[in-house]
Amino acid sequence: DPVLDEAHTLKLPVNDAARWQRWGGLAATLVLGLAGGFIARGWIATTPSRPPIAREVALAHAAYVPEVRHPVEVAAAEEQHLVGWLSKRLATPIRAPSLATAGYNLLGGRLLPPTHPGDPAPMALLMYENAQGRRLSLLVKRESTNAETAFRYADDGPTRVFYWIDGPLGYALAGDLPKEELQTIARLVYRQLNP
């Protein structure tokens, strides 16, 4: 449309006071933006980062623990099938540790999709329950990016998580338990997976 392409001929008067206000406002915005960026950068750099596995197990725990009828896809009565299926899907052998000495029995498990595009395989979630109905979630996933093997701790509200890397697998145990109790159970899991 030739009318839209025409240059306008409007001459708007601009006084010096308005010009200085406009430039002053732009300068203030720039200074505040830069200051905010440096503050945010410093805050982000000093905030401890939580690896994805800790967040993934906390989210899965929160999603499936409240389920009464369907907390797991495959029940503990089919433990051999469950472990075989999850091992096949993760392309590595996994085991379901016994937590009976801590008062927890295997409830069953489920397959979870990878949460990041670079994840090499889906994840396995094993759920345990004690006589009082309290539940724990053990997440197992292939970990190719993290060489850190030490036990680490994170919390996400009431859910506490201990996580570690062992060979090609990452493990994360989540529960709404005191930190010391969860750590004891995490060490029990670790000892069974590494006799």
Q: Are 169 and 140 in contact (CB under 8 A)?
A: yes
Q: Whole-angstrom Cα distance, residue 194 to residue 149?
A: 13
For CA atoms 51, 123, 192, 187, the dihedral sign is: positive
Is the per-residue pLDDT at 132 higher than 60? yes
- Helical segments of 66-156, H only: 79-90
- pLDDT tens digits, residue range 138-163? 999 987 655 566 788 998 778 999 99
Using one digit for the tens of pLDDT, what is the confidence trace for 9-49?
Answer: 555 455 555 554 555 555 555 555 655 555 554 443 333 45
